[in-house]
Protein backbone atom coordinates (compact mmCIF):
# COMPACT_ATOMS: atom_id res chain seq x y z
CA UNK A 1 0.00 0.00 0.00
CA UNK A 2 1.23 3.49 -0.81
CA UNK A 3 1.68 6.11 1.86
CA UNK A 4 -0.91 8.89 1.92
CA UNK A 5 0.23 12.35 3.02
CA UNK A 6 -1.81 13.83 5.85
CA UNK A 7 -2.94 16.85 3.84
CA UNK A 8 -4.52 14.49 1.29
CA UNK A 9 -6.65 12.53 3.78
CA UNK A 10 -9.54 14.98 3.35
CA UNK A 11 -10.04 13.64 -0.17
CA UNK A 12 -10.01 10.01 0.95
CA UNK A 13 -13.25 9.77 2.95
CA UNK A 14 -14.25 6.15 3.73
CA UNK A 15 -11.04 4.94 2.09
CA UNK A 16 -8.28 2.92 3.73
CA UNK A 17 -5.01 4.83 4.03
CA UNK A 18 -1.46 4.19 5.18
CA UNK A 19 -0.05 7.13 7.18
CA UNK A 20 3.44 7.63 8.57
CA UNK A 21 4.75 10.30 10.89
CA UNK A 22 5.33 11.54 14.41
CA UNK A 23 2.86 11.45 17.28
CA UNK A 24 2.36 15.03 18.34
CA UNK A 25 -0.03 14.41 21.21
CA UNK A 26 -1.57 11.34 22.79
CA UNK A 27 -4.87 11.62 24.67
CA UNK A 28 -6.15 8.67 26.61
CA UNK A 29 -9.93 8.70 27.09
CA UNK A 30 -10.20 5.36 28.83
CA UNK A 31 -11.32 3.07 26.08
CA UNK A 32 -10.57 5.36 23.20
CA UNK A 33 -7.06 6.63 22.60
CA UNK A 34 -6.57 9.69 20.38
CA UNK A 35 -3.28 10.43 18.67
CA UNK A 36 -2.45 13.56 16.71
CA UNK A 37 -0.21 12.37 13.90
CA UNK A 38 2.11 14.81 12.13
CA UNK A 39 3.97 14.57 8.85
CA UNK A 40 5.56 17.28 6.75
CA UNK A 41 2.20 18.25 5.32
CA UNK A 42 0.04 18.54 8.41
CA UNK A 43 -1.64 17.07 11.43
CA UNK A 44 -4.53 14.62 11.75
CA UNK A 45 -6.45 12.95 14.56
CA UNK A 46 -6.25 9.17 14.82
CA UNK A 47 -8.79 7.22 16.86
CA UNK A 48 -7.85 3.89 18.37
CA UNK A 49 -10.88 1.92 19.37
CA UNK A 50 -10.46 -1.55 20.94
CA UNK A 51 -13.64 -2.59 19.17
CA UNK A 52 -11.89 -2.01 15.85
CA UNK A 53 -8.48 -3.39 16.80
CA UNK A 54 -7.48 -4.65 20.21
CA UNK A 55 -3.94 -5.10 19.04
CA UNK A 56 -3.71 -1.47 17.99
CA UNK A 57 -4.95 -0.42 21.39
CA UNK A 58 -2.31 -2.48 23.20
CA UNK A 59 0.40 -0.87 21.06
CA UNK A 60 -1.12 2.58 21.50
CA UNK A 61 -0.79 2.23 25.26
CA UNK A 62 2.98 2.30 24.81
CA UNK A 63 3.03 5.31 22.55
CA UNK A 64 4.35 8.65 23.80
CA UNK A 65 4.82 12.01 22.10
CA UNK A 66 7.22 12.04 19.18
CA UNK A 67 7.24 8.29 18.58
CA UNK A 68 7.44 7.56 14.85
CA UNK A 69 4.58 5.30 13.80
CA UNK A 70 2.82 3.95 10.76
CA UNK A 71 -0.87 3.16 10.72
CA UNK A 72 -3.52 1.80 8.45
CA UNK A 73 -7.05 2.97 8.94
CA UNK A 74 -10.23 4.37 7.46
CA UNK A 75 -10.76 8.08 6.92
CA UNK A 76 -14.09 9.03 8.55
CA UNK A 77 -16.03 12.24 8.42
CA UNK A 78 -16.41 13.71 11.91
CA UNK A 79 -19.82 14.47 13.35
CA UNK A 80 -20.68 18.17 13.18
CA UNK A 81 -19.96 18.86 16.85
CA UNK A 82 -16.59 17.07 16.63
CA UNK A 83 -15.30 19.22 13.79
CA UNK A 84 -12.12 21.11 14.70
CA UNK A 85 -12.00 24.31 12.65
CA UNK A 86 -8.43 24.98 13.86
CA UNK A 87 -7.11 21.96 11.98
CA UNK A 88 -6.87 21.72 8.22
CA UNK A 89 -7.95 18.10 8.50
CA UNK A 90 -10.45 19.00 11.24
CA UNK A 91 -13.45 17.59 9.38
CA UNK A 92 -12.06 14.08 9.31
CA UNK A 93 -10.29 11.58 11.54
CA UNK A 94 -8.77 8.17 10.91
CA UNK A 95 -10.06 5.04 12.60
CA UNK A 96 -6.99 2.90 13.09
CA UNK A 97 -7.02 -0.76 12.06
CA UNK A 98 -3.27 -1.44 12.19
CA UNK A 99 -0.63 0.34 14.22
CA UNK A 100 3.11 -0.14 14.17
CA UNK A 101 5.77 1.68 16.17
CA UNK A 102 8.71 2.49 13.88
CA UNK A 103 10.87 4.23 16.49
CA UNK A 104 10.56 5.39 20.05
CA UNK A 105 11.35 8.82 21.51
CA UNK A 106 12.60 9.97 24.89
CA UNK A 107 10.78 12.77 26.69
CA UNK A 108 11.41 16.03 24.82
CA UNK A 109 13.89 18.46 26.44
CA UNK A 110 11.34 21.25 25.82
CA UNK A 111 7.84 21.57 24.49
CA UNK A 112 8.39 21.53 20.76
CA UNK A 113 4.79 22.40 19.98
CA UNK A 114 4.77 25.71 21.84
CA UNK A 115 6.57 28.94 20.94
CA UNK A 116 10.16 27.78 21.32
CA UNK A 117 11.46 31.35 21.28
CA UNK A 118 11.12 31.32 25.07
CA UNK A 119 13.46 28.31 25.40
CA UNK A 120 17.13 29.09 26.09
CA UNK A 121 19.36 29.44 23.04
CA UNK A 122 21.77 26.78 24.34
CA UNK A 123 19.03 24.15 24.67
CA UNK A 124 17.35 25.02 21.39
CA UNK A 125 20.59 24.82 19.45
CA UNK A 126 21.75 21.67 21.19
CA UNK A 127 18.52 19.99 20.11
CA UNK A 128 18.06 21.97 16.91
CA UNK A 129 16.65 18.91 15.12
CA UNK A 130 13.80 18.99 17.65
CA UNK A 131 13.42 22.76 17.54
CA UNK A 132 12.99 22.45 13.77
CA UNK A 133 10.01 20.10 14.30
CA UNK A 134 8.17 23.20 15.47
CA UNK A 135 5.66 24.49 12.97
CA UNK A 136 6.93 28.06 12.99
CA UNK A 137 10.50 26.96 12.32
CA UNK A 138 9.39 24.76 9.43
CA UNK A 139 7.44 27.67 7.97
CA UNK A 140 10.52 29.87 8.21
CA UNK A 141 12.68 27.31 6.41
CA UNK A 142 10.06 26.91 3.71
CA UNK A 143 9.81 30.67 3.26
CA UNK A 144 13.59 30.84 2.93
CA UNK A 145 13.48 28.12 0.31
CA UNK A 146 10.76 29.91 -1.64
CA UNK A 147 12.69 33.18 -1.60
CA UNK A 148 15.87 31.52 -2.86
CA UNK A 149 13.92 29.56 -5.44
CA UNK A 150 12.26 32.74 -6.69
CA UNK A 151 15.60 34.53 -7.01
CA UNK A 152 17.14 31.60 -8.89
CA UNK A 153 14.27 31.41 -11.36
CA UNK A 154 14.03 35.16 -11.84
CA UNK A 155 17.73 35.67 -12.52
CA UNK A 156 17.91 32.56 -14.71
CA UNK A 157 15.10 34.04 -16.81
CA UNK A 158 17.14 37.24 -17.05
CA UNK A 159 20.05 35.27 -18.55
CA UNK A 160 22.21 35.19 -15.41
CA UNK A 161 24.48 32.20 -14.78
CA UNK A 162 24.85 30.83 -11.27
CA UNK A 163 28.48 29.98 -10.57
CA UNK A 164 29.99 28.42 -7.45
CA UNK A 165 33.23 30.09 -6.42
CA UNK A 166 35.79 28.48 -4.09
CA UNK A 167 35.38 28.17 -0.35
CA UNK A 168 39.07 27.44 0.11
CA UNK A 169 40.52 30.67 -1.12
CA UNK A 170 42.73 33.56 -0.28
CA UNK A 171 41.79 36.42 1.96
CA UNK A 172 39.43 38.95 0.31
CA UNK A 173 39.48 41.82 2.71
CA UNK A 174 35.96 43.15 3.23
CA UNK A 175 36.96 44.75 6.48
CA UNK A 176 36.61 41.73 8.77
CA UNK A 177 38.95 39.06 10.12
CA UNK A 178 39.41 35.94 7.98
CA UNK A 179 38.73 32.36 8.97
CA UNK A 180 41.92 30.49 8.18
CA UNK A 181 42.34 26.89 7.05
CA UNK A 182 45.83 25.43 7.37
CA UNK A 183 47.26 23.70 4.33
CA UNK A 184 48.69 20.22 4.93
CA UNK A 185 50.50 20.11 1.62
CA UNK A 186 52.14 23.51 2.12
CA UNK A 187 53.01 23.57 5.81
CA UNK A 188 52.85 27.03 7.32
CA UNK A 189 50.50 28.27 4.61
CA UNK A 190 46.80 28.92 4.93
CA UNK A 191 43.68 29.19 2.88
CA UNK A 192 41.12 31.76 3.94
CA UNK A 193 37.37 31.25 3.77
CA UNK A 194 35.83 33.96 1.57
CA UNK A 195 34.37 37.01 3.32
CA UNK A 196 32.52 37.34 0.02
CA UNK A 197 33.19 36.15 -3.53
CA UNK A 198 34.06 39.74 -4.49
CA UNK A 199 37.28 39.10 -6.39
CA UNK A 200 35.98 35.96 -8.07
CA UNK A 201 32.88 37.68 -9.36
CA UNK A 202 34.95 40.48 -10.80
CA UNK A 203 37.23 37.91 -12.42
CA UNK A 204 34.15 36.20 -13.88
CA UNK A 205 33.42 39.52 -15.56
CA UNK A 206 36.95 39.54 -17.01
CA UNK A 207 36.13 35.98 -18.15
CA UNK A 208 33.22 37.35 -20.15
CA UNK A 209 30.31 35.87 -18.19
CA UNK A 210 28.58 39.26 -18.15
CA UNK A 211 25.77 38.23 -15.80
CA UNK A 212 26.62 36.17 -12.71
CA UNK A 213 24.90 35.36 -9.47
CA UNK A 214 25.30 32.96 -6.60
CA UNK A 215 23.59 32.25 -3.30
CA UNK A 216 26.96 32.59 -1.66
CA UNK A 217 28.10 31.62 1.82
CA UNK A 218 30.33 34.30 3.32
CA UNK A 219 32.58 33.84 6.34
CA UNK A 220 33.68 36.58 8.68
CA UNK A 221 35.42 35.97 11.98
CA UNK A 222 33.65 38.58 14.05
CA UNK A 223 32.14 38.69 17.49
CA UNK A 224 28.38 38.25 17.36
CA UNK A 225 26.65 41.38 16.06
CA UNK A 226 23.00 42.25 16.18
CA UNK A 227 21.24 41.17 13.00
CA UNK A 228 24.22 39.31 11.54
CA UNK A 229 24.54 35.59 11.81
CA UNK A 230 27.88 35.04 13.54
CA UNK A 231 30.61 33.26 11.61
CA UNK A 232 28.81 32.67 8.34
CA UNK A 233 25.93 34.12 6.42
CA UNK A 234 24.45 34.02 2.93
CA UNK A 235 24.31 36.68 0.27
CA UNK A 236 22.69 36.87 -3.11
CA UNK A 237 25.95 37.78 -4.80
CA UNK A 238 25.49 39.34 -8.22
CA UNK A 239 27.63 41.04 -10.87
CA UNK A 240 27.02 42.43 -14.35
CA UNK A 241 29.15 43.85 -17.16
CA UNK A 242 28.51 46.79 -19.51
CA UNK A 243 26.01 48.34 -17.13
CA UNK A 244 25.63 51.46 -15.06
CA UNK A 245 24.59 51.87 -11.46
CA UNK A 246 21.04 52.58 -12.66
CA UNK A 247 20.78 49.07 -14.16
CA UNK A 248 21.61 47.43 -10.83
CA UNK A 249 19.11 49.59 -8.93
CA UNK A 250 16.35 48.81 -11.42
CA UNK A 251 17.02 45.08 -11.55
CA UNK A 252 16.93 44.76 -7.77
CA UNK A 253 13.85 46.96 -7.36
CA UNK A 254 11.91 44.98 -9.97
CA UNK A 255 13.02 41.60 -8.67
CA UNK A 256 12.22 42.32 -5.01
CA UNK A 257 8.85 43.82 -5.95
CA UNK A 258 7.92 40.65 -7.84
CA UNK A 259 9.41 38.50 -5.10
CA UNK A 260 7.29 40.10 -2.38
CA UNK A 261 4.14 39.82 -4.53
CA UNK A 262 4.77 36.14 -5.17
CA UNK A 263 6.22 34.87 -1.91
CA UNK A 264 4.68 37.17 0.69
CA UNK A 265 1.48 38.61 -0.83
CA UNK A 266 0.29 39.75 2.61
CA UNK A 267 3.10 42.34 2.64
CA UNK A 268 2.91 45.67 0.86
CA UNK A 269 5.70 47.92 -0.34
CA UNK A 270 4.54 51.31 0.90
CA UNK A 271 6.72 53.71 -1.11
CA UNK A 272 7.23 53.29 -4.87
CA UNK A 273 9.41 53.90 -6.71
CA UNK A 274 11.93 53.26 -3.94
CA UNK A 275 13.33 56.57 -2.67
CA UNK A 276 16.96 57.29 -3.53
CA UNK A 277 18.66 59.27 -0.83
CA UNK A 278 22.21 60.60 -0.84
CA UNK A 279 24.38 59.55 2.06
CA UNK A 280 24.75 63.20 3.05
CA UNK A 281 20.99 63.80 3.06
CA UNK A 282 20.36 60.62 5.03
CA UNK A 283 22.86 61.64 7.69
CA UNK A 284 21.41 65.15 7.92
CA UNK A 285 17.75 64.16 7.89
CA UNK A 286 17.76 60.85 9.79
CA UNK A 287 21.13 60.94 11.57
CA UNK A 288 21.99 57.55 10.09
CA UNK A 289 22.58 55.85 6.74
CA UNK A 290 19.77 53.32 7.00
CA UNK A 291 16.58 55.27 7.56
CA UNK A 292 13.35 53.52 8.49
CA UNK A 293 10.82 55.07 6.11
CA UNK A 294 7.79 53.03 7.17
CA UNK A 295 4.65 55.14 7.48
CA UNK A 296 3.33 53.03 10.34
CA UNK A 297 5.98 51.22 12.35
CA UNK A 298 3.33 49.06 14.03
CA UNK A 299 2.24 47.58 10.73
CA UNK A 300 3.98 44.18 10.47
CA UNK A 301 3.16 43.98 6.76
CA UNK A 302 4.65 47.27 5.64
CA UNK A 303 7.89 47.14 3.69
CA UNK A 304 9.71 50.41 3.03
CA UNK A 305 12.73 50.02 0.79
CA UNK A 306 15.15 52.78 -0.13
CA UNK A 307 18.52 53.25 -1.76
CA UNK A 308 21.37 55.17 -0.17
CA UNK A 309 23.75 56.60 -2.78
CA UNK A 310 26.73 58.92 -3.10
CA UNK A 311 28.68 57.55 -0.18
CA UNK A 312 32.09 59.03 0.47
CA UNK A 313 34.65 56.69 -1.09
CA UNK A 314 36.79 56.76 2.05
CA UNK A 315 36.27 56.93 5.76
CA UNK A 316 38.98 57.76 8.25
CA UNK A 317 40.71 54.70 9.67
CA UNK A 318 39.94 53.96 13.28
CA UNK A 319 42.04 51.88 15.62
CA UNK A 320 39.84 48.79 15.44
CA UNK A 321 39.57 49.20 11.70
CA UNK A 322 40.82 46.24 9.70
CA UNK A 323 42.86 48.64 7.60
CA UNK A 324 44.42 50.35 10.59
CA UNK A 325 48.17 50.19 10.41
CA UNK A 326 48.05 48.83 6.88
CA UNK A 327 50.29 51.66 5.83
CA UNK A 328 50.83 55.33 6.42
CA UNK A 329 47.41 56.48 5.45
CA UNK A 330 44.46 57.73 7.41
CA UNK A 331 41.96 56.47 4.82
CA UNK A 332 40.01 53.23 4.70
CA UNK A 333 37.53 52.33 1.93
CA UNK A 334 33.99 52.97 3.15
CA UNK A 335 32.63 50.04 1.08
CA UNK A 336 35.57 48.06 -0.23
CA UNK A 337 38.69 48.81 -2.18
CA UNK A 338 37.21 47.85 -5.55
CA UNK A 339 34.47 50.52 -5.53
CA UNK A 340 34.85 53.08 -8.30
CA UNK A 341 34.95 56.79 -7.57
CA UNK A 342 32.32 58.92 -9.30
CA UNK A 343 33.77 60.13 -12.61
CA UNK A 344 33.26 63.79 -11.71
CA UNK A 345 35.20 63.33 -8.45
CA UNK A 346 38.22 61.58 -10.00
CA UNK A 347 40.30 64.74 -9.93
CA UNK A 348 39.76 65.03 -6.17
CA UNK A 349 41.56 61.72 -5.53
CA UNK A 350 44.90 63.52 -5.39
CA UNK A 351 43.71 66.78 -3.88
CA UNK A 352 41.11 65.91 -1.31
CA UNK A 353 40.35 62.15 -0.99
CA UNK A 354 37.88 62.73 1.82
CA UNK A 355 35.59 64.58 -0.61
CA UNK A 356 35.50 61.84 -3.28
CA UNK A 357 32.15 60.11 -3.63
CA UNK A 358 31.96 56.46 -4.63
CA UNK A 359 29.57 54.65 -6.94
CA UNK A 360 28.29 52.64 -3.99
CA UNK A 361 24.65 51.71 -3.42
CA UNK A 362 23.21 50.42 -0.17
CA UNK A 363 19.82 48.74 -0.05
CA UNK A 364 17.81 49.53 3.08
CA UNK A 365 14.55 47.91 4.22
CA UNK A 366 12.60 49.09 7.27
CA UNK A 367 15.70 50.68 8.79
CA UNK A 368 17.91 47.64 8.17
CA UNK A 369 20.76 47.59 5.68
CA UNK A 370 19.99 44.50 3.63
CA UNK A 371 22.61 44.84 0.93
CA UNK A 372 25.36 46.84 -0.64
CA UNK A 373 27.32 46.97 -3.82
CA UNK A 374 28.99 49.27 -6.28
CA UNK A 375 30.29 49.95 -9.74
CA UNK A 376 33.86 48.66 -9.69
CA UNK A 377 37.12 50.16 -10.73
CA UNK A 378 38.21 48.61 -14.04
CA UNK A 379 41.22 50.81 -14.72
CA UNK A 380 44.32 49.22 -13.16
CA UNK A 381 45.85 52.68 -12.67
CA UNK A 382 42.89 53.90 -10.62
CA UNK A 383 42.91 50.65 -8.65
CA UNK A 384 46.55 51.13 -7.83
CA UNK A 385 45.91 54.70 -6.76
CA UNK A 386 43.22 53.48 -4.34
CA UNK A 387 45.67 50.93 -2.91
CA UNK A 388 48.15 53.77 -2.38
CA UNK A 389 45.54 55.98 -0.75
CA UNK A 390 44.58 53.29 1.77
CA UNK A 391 48.27 52.95 2.52
CA UNK A 392 49.00 49.53 1.05
CA UNK A 393 52.66 48.61 1.03
CA UNK A 394 54.29 47.00 -2.00
CA UNK A 395 53.82 43.57 -0.41
CA UNK A 396 50.16 44.23 0.35
CA UNK A 397 49.61 45.32 -3.24
CA UNK A 398 51.27 42.12 -4.34
CA UNK A 399 48.34 40.25 -2.79
CA UNK A 400 46.11 41.75 -5.46
CA UNK A 401 48.50 41.38 -8.36
CA UNK A 402 46.12 38.83 -9.94
CA UNK A 403 43.35 41.46 -10.06
CA UNK A 404 45.55 44.14 -11.56
CA UNK A 405 47.03 41.53 -13.87
CA UNK A 406 43.60 40.34 -15.03
CA UNK A 407 42.58 43.91 -15.78
CA UNK A 408 45.39 44.08 -18.34
CA UNK A 409 43.73 41.45 -20.54
CA UNK A 410 40.56 43.28 -21.55
CA UNK A 411 38.20 44.10 -18.73
CA UNK A 412 34.59 45.22 -19.24
CA UNK A 413 33.14 47.94 -17.03
CA UNK A 414 31.18 46.09 -14.34
CA UNK A 415 29.37 46.36 -11.05
CA UNK A 416 27.08 44.49 -8.74
CA UNK A 417 25.53 44.08 -5.37
CA UNK A 418 25.15 41.47 -2.65
CA UNK A 419 21.85 41.62 -0.74
CA UNK A 420 21.87 39.50 2.40
CA UNK A 421 19.58 36.49 2.42
CA UNK A 422 19.25 35.97 6.18
CA UNK A 423 18.12 39.47 7.12
CA UNK A 424 15.63 39.67 4.29
CA UNK A 425 14.07 36.32 5.17
CA UNK A 426 13.95 37.40 8.82
CA UNK A 427 12.00 40.53 7.93
CA UNK A 428 9.58 38.70 5.64
CA UNK A 429 9.08 35.99 8.28
CA UNK A 430 8.31 38.70 10.86
CA UNK A 431 11.02 37.36 13.18
CA UNK A 432 13.18 39.47 15.50
CA UNK A 433 16.23 37.25 15.38
CA UNK A 434 18.17 36.07 12.38
CA UNK A 435 18.76 32.62 13.93
CA UNK A 436 15.01 31.92 13.51
CA UNK A 437 15.45 31.68 9.75
CA UNK A 438 18.67 29.62 9.66
CA UNK A 439 18.49 25.84 10.04
CA UNK A 440 21.68 25.40 12.04
CA UNK A 441 23.00 28.78 13.18
CA UNK A 442 25.96 29.32 15.46
CA UNK A 443 25.08 30.63 18.91
CA UNK A 444 25.58 34.22 20.06
CA UNK A 445 28.88 33.06 21.52
CA UNK A 446 29.87 31.71 18.08
CA UNK A 447 29.60 27.99 18.92
CA UNK A 448 27.44 25.12 17.81
CA UNK A 449 26.18 23.41 20.98
CA UNK A 450 24.80 20.49 18.95
CA UNK A 451 27.95 19.54 17.02
CA UNK A 452 30.18 20.79 19.83
CA UNK A 453 32.12 23.00 17.48
CA UNK A 454 34.61 24.55 17.48
CA UNK A 455 36.41 21.57 18.94
CA UNK A 456 39.88 20.32 19.65
CA UNK A 457 41.47 18.09 17.04
CA UNK A 458 43.75 15.10 17.44
CA UNK A 459 47.51 15.41 17.91
CA UNK A 460 47.89 13.48 14.68
CA UNK A 461 45.91 16.09 12.77
CA UNK A 462 47.94 18.89 14.30
CA UNK A 463 51.22 17.13 13.55
CA UNK A 464 50.30 16.68 9.91
CA UNK A 465 49.70 20.39 9.72
CA UNK A 466 52.86 21.25 11.67
CA UNK A 467 50.76 23.18 14.15
CA UNK A 468 51.55 23.58 17.84
CA UNK A 469 48.90 24.93 20.16
CA UNK A 470 50.21 27.67 22.40
CA UNK A 471 47.39 28.73 24.72
CA UNK A 472 47.80 31.59 27.18
CA UNK A 473 48.23 30.20 30.75
CA UNK A 474 44.83 31.28 32.04
CA UNK A 475 42.97 29.53 29.26
CA UNK A 476 44.96 26.31 29.61
CA UNK A 477 43.34 25.62 32.97
CA UNK A 478 39.79 25.64 31.60
Instruction: Give the Cα separation of 396 and 318 in Å (integer).
Output: 19
- Please, how many CA atoms are within 13 Å of residue 182, restricted to the half-sphere of its CB? 12
Residue 231 binding ligand ASP, by CB under 6 A: no
| Between 67 and 387, CB nearer to ligand ASP | 387
Position among 125, 243, 389, 417 found at the interface with ligand ASP (CB under 6 A): 417
User: What's the full length of the chain, in residues?
Assistant: 478
Could you tell me whether strands 16-29 and 68-77 are parallel, antiparallel, or unpaired per DSSP bridges? antiparallel
Residue 362 binding ligand ASP, by CB under 6 A: no
Instruction: Give the Cα separation of 105 and 67 in Å (integer).
Output: 5
The distance of Cα 125 from the centroid of its chain, to the nearest Å, equals 17
Q: How far is the CB of 116 from ligand ASP (least distance, A)?
A: 31
| Between 67 and 323, CB nearer to ligand ASP | 323
Q: How far is the CB of 386 from ligand ASP (least distance, A)?
A: 14
- CB of 390 closer than 8 Å to CB of 337: yes
Residue 109: strand, helix, or coil? coil
Residue 99 binding ligand ASP, by CB under 6 A: no
Residue 194 binding ligand ASP, by CB under 6 A: no
Residue 374: strand, helix, or coil? strand
Instruction: Give the Cα separation of 264 and 171 in Å (integer).
Output: 37
Q: Which range in 240-248, 271-279, 395-403, 412-420 contacts ligand ASP by CB under 6 A?
A: 412-420
Residue 198 binding ligand ASP, by CB under 6 A: yes
Residue 337 binding ligand ASP, by CB under 6 A: no
Going from the C-alpha of 233 to that of each of 12, 337, 418, 424, 440, the distances in angstroms are: 44, 21, 12, 12, 11
Position among 418, 427, 429, 437 found at the interface with ligand ASP (CB under 6 A): 418
| Between 112 and 417, CB nearer to ligand ASP | 417
- CB of 404 closer than 8 Å to CB of 379: no
Position among 196, 214, 241, 282 found at the interface with ligand ASP (CB under 6 A): 196
**How many H-runs (helices) and E-runs (strands) does the chain carry?**
14, 19
Q: How far is the CB of 259 from ligand ASP (least distance, A)?
A: 19
| Between 140 and 198, CB nearer to ligand ASP | 198
| Between 94 and 209, CB nearer to ligand ASP | 209
In sequence order, which residues have a C-beta less than 8 Å from that of residue 11 and are 6 or more positions away? none
Q: What is the DSSP string of 410-477?
A: ----EEEE--BSHHHHHHHHT-SSGGGG-SSPPPTTS-BTTTTBS----HHHHHHTT------HHHHT
Which residues, numbered 39-78, are part of the site for ligand ASP (CB under 6 A)? none
Position among 21, 231, 333, 373 found at the interface with ligand ASP (CB under 6 A): 373
Position among 73, 291, 372, 391 found at the interface with ligand ASP (CB under 6 A): 372
Question: Binding-site residue total for ligand ASP (CB under 6 A)?
Answer: 9
Phi, psi of 255 (to 5 degrees): -65, -45
Residue 416 binding ligand ASP, by CB under 6 A: yes
- CB of 69 closer than 8 Å to CB of 37: yes
Instruction: Give the Cα separation of 196 and 239 in Å (integer).
Output: 12
Q: Which range in 62-70, 134-142, 340-348, 371-379 contacts ligand ASP by CB under 6 A?
A: 371-379
- Contact string 137-176 vs ligand ASP (x = CB under 6 A): -------------------------------------x--
Position among 24, 169, 229, 374 found at the interface with ligand ASP (CB under 6 A): 374
| Between 305 and 311, CB nearer to ligand ASP | 311
Q: Could you list the residues that contact ligand ASP (CB under 6 A)?
A: 174, 196, 198, 372-374, 416-418
Amino acid sequence: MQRTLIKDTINQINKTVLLKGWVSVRRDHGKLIFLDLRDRTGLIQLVINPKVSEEAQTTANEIRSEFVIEIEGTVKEREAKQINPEMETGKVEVEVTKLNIISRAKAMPFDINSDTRSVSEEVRLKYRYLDLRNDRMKKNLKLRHKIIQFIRNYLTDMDFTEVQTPILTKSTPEGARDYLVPSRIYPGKFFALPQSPQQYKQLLMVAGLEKYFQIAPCFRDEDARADRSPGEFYQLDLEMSFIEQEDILQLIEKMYTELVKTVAPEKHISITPWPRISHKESKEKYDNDKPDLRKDKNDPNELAFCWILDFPLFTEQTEDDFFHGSGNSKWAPSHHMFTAPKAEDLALLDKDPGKVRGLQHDLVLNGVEIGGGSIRIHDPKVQEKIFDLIGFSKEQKQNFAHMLGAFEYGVPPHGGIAPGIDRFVRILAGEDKIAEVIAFPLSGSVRDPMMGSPSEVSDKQLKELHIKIDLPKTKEKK
